[in-house]
Amino acid sequence: MPSPPSSKTFFANKRTAVAASDNGLVRVQRLDDLQVLVKMEPEMEEIDLIQWAAAKRDFLDATLADAGAILFRKFKLKTVEQFQAFVETACGPPLEYKERSSPRSQVSGNVFTSTDYPSDKTIFLHTEQSYNYVFPLRIAFFCVVQAAEGGETPVADTRRILQRLRPETRMRLENQGYLYVRNFGSGIGLSWQEAFQTEDPLEVERHCRGSFIDYEWLSKDRLRTRQRRPVVAHHPSGAKAWFNHMAFFHVSTLEPDIRRQMLENFSEEDLPNNTYYGDGSSIEPEIMDEIRAAYLAERKMFQWQSGDILLLDNVLTAHGRSPFVPPRKVVVAMARSCTWPELAPYDFGTR
């Protein structure tokens, strides 16, 4: 792991920032039991994280390229506005939430609630918006209120997930990619209006053509989309990472009671979400089991504390959510837009 450079950092002093030269202002620690996660804590209470991050942006990028995740703790950030300022300083302007797949509420600017999903349910590990043609390289979470119990945001190293898969599984999926089929308008999940953030079908069609998504209007309010995506990304560091939503959206990943209800109420082609091999054929149950087992074998957990910030390299680190006892408030922001051709040699076809 790279060591912090000996450049300036900053202290908070009422409304002004005072520069000081000191190598020991922030403690950097790779947690023994969480090899995917680096923890950073201030050595002195007066350190202003936003100002410090402005001077250490290259160091933060290098740390993320190595570890994949950074937990900032005890920096005394209290407001969503401070969190947004940190994200903009460390990563760039927060991105809009486009081509949505999960319900989120806007908190401030481009800061949103983490997925609005029942507190007693698990959200499986995934890499944010990897099903999209355009996705964020950075995702950050801010714990405003820690859960009374549970509510962890587990993380997993996608480089190690890829290494856990059998060579024959990797080869087939790297060659074919996967197909994500989505049905809007069934009453389950987001409507196409919410997902694409428009009431105009022509705007939806323009987005789909520009993002290599096949679309089919089944009725005025029912839309079916199909998009083929790679399963592996070539990170700018040179590492290969398992970067996709193949397991997350596959019907077999749903909790048993939800899966049963879905299969009782929908034909396979009408399921709100499902995934296939890139040629459209069904993925064998044992392959899905293998992939989910690889995620879970790499899953690492930590307990949130109010005021924590978790910053992830979205390509190198998957995240999820554990069930919790309310109250819990964790907000999220994304940054650094990237497209699939920048990270994978893949034939997306013609627009």
What would the pLDDT profile of 284-312 be if each residue is shown by its tens digit?
Answer: 999 999 999 999 999 999 999 999 999 99
pLDDT of 17 strictly over 50: no
- 273 in helix, strand or coil? strand
pLDDT of residue 116: 86
pLDDT of 351 strictly over 70: no
pLDDT of residue 190: 94
Within this chain, do residues 175 and 249 fall inside the same structural domain, yes or no? yes
As a whole-number percent, the residues of the chain with pLDDT over 70 amount to 92
- CB within 8 A of 254, min separation 6: which ones? 262
Within this chain, do residues 253 and 175 fall inside the same structural domain, yes or no? yes
Q: Does the residue 111 lie in any domain?
A: yes
Q: Predicted confidence band at 115 (pLDDT cuts at 50, 70, 90)? A: confident
| Maximum separation of any 2 CA atoms in the chain, in Å | 65
CATH number at residue 200: 3.60.130.10
pLDDT of residue 84: 98
Within this chain, do residues 241 and 311 fall inside the same structural domain, yes or no? no
- 19 in helix, strand or coil? strand
Q: Does the residue 88 lie in any domain?
A: yes
Domain extent at residue 281 = 160-295
**CB of 258 within 8 A of CB of 228?**
no
pLDDT digits (tens, 9 = 90+) for 322-340: 999 999 999 999 999 999 9
Q: Does the residue 10 lie in any domain?
A: no
Report the number of distinct structural domains present in the chain. Answer: 2
Q: Does the residue 100 lie in any domain?
A: yes
Instruction: Give CA separation, 247 vs 41, 147, 179, in Å.
Output: 35, 27, 11
Mean local confidence (pLDDT), 65-74: 97
pLDDT digits (tens, 9 = 90+) for 160-176: 999 999 999 999 999 99
pLDDT of 180 strictly over 70: yes
CA dihedral over 245, 250, 253, 256, signed as positive or negative: positive
As a whole-number percent, the residues of the chain with pLDDT over 90 amount to 86
Within this chain, do residues 286 and 186 fall inside the same structural domain, yes or no? yes
pLDDT of 349 strictly over 90: no
Within this chain, do residues 266 and 291 fall inside the same structural domain, yes or no? yes
Mean local confidence (pLDDT), 124-145: 97
Q: Does the residue 16 lie in any domain?
A: no
Within this chain, do residues 56 and 145 fall inside the same structural domain, yes or no? yes
Within this chain, do residues 169 and 284 fall inside the same structural domain, yes or no? yes
DSSP letter string, 55-92: H-HHHHHHHHHHHSEEEE-SS---SHHHHHHHHHHHH-
Within this chain, do residues 51 and 152 fall inside the same structural domain, yes or no? yes
Within this chain, do residues 278 and 319 fall inside the same structural domain, yes or no? no
pLDDT of residue 202: 98
Q: Does the residue 316 lie in any domain?
A: yes
Give CA–CA dist 49/35, Å, rounded. 23
Residue with tokens 């599984």: 169
Q: Predicted confidence band at 16 (pLDDT cuts at 50, 70, 90)? A: very low
Extract the runs of DSSP E, i.e. beta strands, from 269-343. Answer: 273-277, 309-313, 317-321, 324-325, 329-339
pLDDT digits (tens, 9 = 90+) for 190-246: 999 999 999 999 999 999 999 999 999 999 999 999 999 999 999 999 999 999 999
Within this chain, do residues 89 and 101 fall inside the same structural domain, yes or no? yes
Within this chain, do residues 139 and 152 fall inside the same structural domain, yes or no? yes
Q: Does the residue 188 lie in any domain?
A: yes
Judge residue 173's burial from the number of C-beta atoms within 10 Å of its C-beta, 0-12 exposed, 13-18 middle, 19 or more buried: buried
Q: Does the residue 3 lie in any domain?
A: no
Q: Predicted confidence band at 102 (pLDDT cuts at 50, 70, 90)? A: confident
Within this chain, do residues 321 and 282 fall inside the same structural domain, yes or no? no
pLDDT of residue 223: 98
